[in-house]
Structure 1
Amino acid sequence: MSHTRYTTTILEDWVTSFYLKIKIRTPDDISEDYIAKQNEIYIKRANIPSRYDVIGSFRSITIDIRKDKLLQREIFFHELCHILRHSGRQGMIPEAFRQLQEWDSCNFVRYAAIPNHMLHFIDFNEPFVIEQMVKMFKVTPELCTERLMQIEKRRNLQKFTRSFTINFLKI
């Protein structure tokens, strides 16, 4: 797989815009502490389940330190999405709306961990591309695999759509 442009999602564009606004341009710039500081979010690392809290203007993310270090980073992005993009207490909103927020957070994790505007740092022809991505973006191999599959799937869909449109127009 080579890195070629594909049509990004609205959420992907949102993440890129968010990162560029706070001057995150390279994989080394992605730092939970920096992102939290730029957004006035307190981070607590403790032996308790991960969560986010918004109480008035106070915003915090608790990260369970019993989890693997790479997974902790993904948990941070998940909880960050809830703070930045969602409203309401999850325990008090309709189940369908809660599921929508969880779906949004899962997608946000992929884009925040391995943002579109940083894909050019990845050597897609490298035989150990997953290991390269794990080291570069400091996330789990599973998330790297998901992101690569998502990129490839979208590129293939885009090729199919172009081909279909061209053939349809010939009719």
Structure 2
Amino acid sequence: MHHTHREDYVLKMYRYLRIYTPREIDEQIISRRLRIFLKYHDRGSTYKEHGRFRAIYLQRGLTPEDHRIQFFHELGHLMRHDSNRMFISGGLADYLEWDTRLFEMYAALPHHMLRGYDWDAPDIIEQLANDFVVPADFAEKRLNQLYRQSIVQPVVTRKTDPQLPTHSESYDPANWSYETQRIMSQLQEQIGEEVVNYVGLLRND
């Protein structure tokens, strides 16, 4: 199994939160232990950060499965990205959103909690969806990702739309401004990896 730095990040986060099993994954507990204000409202899910105040606002009325995915998406922005994104656009904005969607997938279905499952079981998708409280198509995408990283042919056959973008014209480095080039160079130095294609995919993923 090819392990990425994002998988390690999620593993360390759950250890810090003292969460070790799928049934312990809970939005209220995670928010409380990270000192993040969690509230439900009638608008779309979002997050806010002002000084030491951090908050996640989830759209009221969604299923528990959709609430969980949206919670981890907003948490990814809070945990991994600078809150001041007013002037971020183009390729860097694509990269930050892509990074958040990976965090969302890894945090909702962390690899270290999947090791006890039989990935070839005929009902594996339903098992994961039920145990981790995620939509079935989301569980299937995560499982297929793990199969690809393990260089094993997936056994699931349900048709789903791709989770991650395959191309972004705005990511073309030739069109970056000087400021975007500076920020991306700094980002590459910080994470120690090289950007290799036009959706910001890194060599280790």
| TM band (smaller chain) | 0.7 to 0.9
- Output the CA distance in 1 between the equivalents of 2:94 and 2:116: 33
* SS in structure 1 of the partner of residue 121 of structure 2: coil
Please state if 1:83 is matched with 2:92: no
Structure 1 residue aligned with 2:183 = none
Retained in 1: the 8 A contact 2:49–2:83? no
Structure 2 residue aligned with 1:43 = 38
What is the CA-CA distance between 1:142 and the residue it aligns to?
Answer: 1.4
- Output the CA distance in 2 between the equivalents of 1:102 and 1:135: 27
Structure 1 residue aligned with 2:11 = 16
Residues 5-25 of structure 1, C-alpha deviations (whole Å, 9 max, x = no match): x02111011101110121111
State the TM-score, normalized to the length of structure 2: 0.71
Structure 1 residue aligned with 2:55 = 60
Task: Give the counterpart of 2:107 among 106, 112, 121.
Answer: 112
- Output the CA distance in 2 between the equivalents of 1:130 and 1:91: 39
State the TM-score, normalized to the length of structure 1: 0.84
Structure 2 residue aligned with 1:155 = 150
* SS in structure 2 of the partner of residue 101 of structure 1: helix
* SS in structure 2 of the partner of residue 14 of structure 1: helix
Give the AA of the match of 1:85.
Answer: R
What is the CA-CA distance between 1:67 and the residue it aligns to?
Answer: 2.6
Alignment RMSD, CA only? 1.3
Structure 1 residue aligned with 2:185 = none
> How many correspondences in the alignment?
152
* SS in structure 2 of the partner of residue 121 of structure 1: coil
Retained in 1: the 8 A contact 2:28–2:38? yes
| Fraction of identical pairs, as percent | 33
Residues 68-91 of structure 1, C-alpha deviations (whole Å, 9 max, x = no match): 321110000000011111004333
Structure 2 residue aligned with 1:166 = none
- Output the CA distance in 1 between the equivalents of 2:9 and 2:118: 24
- Output the CA distance in 2 between the equivalents of 1:106 and 1:59: 20
* SS in structure 2 of the partner of residue 45 of structure 1: strand
Please state if 1:69 is matched with 2:64: yes
* Stretch deviating more after TM superposition (89-98 or 12-21): 89-98
- Output the CA distance in 2 between the equivalents of 1:70 and 1:97: 29
Task: Give the counterpart of 2:132 among 134, 137, 142.
Answer: 137
Provide structure 1 residue ranges, at least 5 long, that are not aligned to the other structure. Answer: 1-5, 158-171
**Larger RCO, structures 1/2 (Cα 8 Å, 6+ apart):** 1
Task: Give the counterpart of 1:25 among 16, 20, 23.
Answer: 20
Retained in 1: the 8 A contact 2:72–2:104? yes
Retained in 1: the 8 A contact 2:41–2:57? yes
Residues 134-159 of structure 1, C-alpha deviations (whole Å, 9 max, x = no match): 110001111101110000001118xx
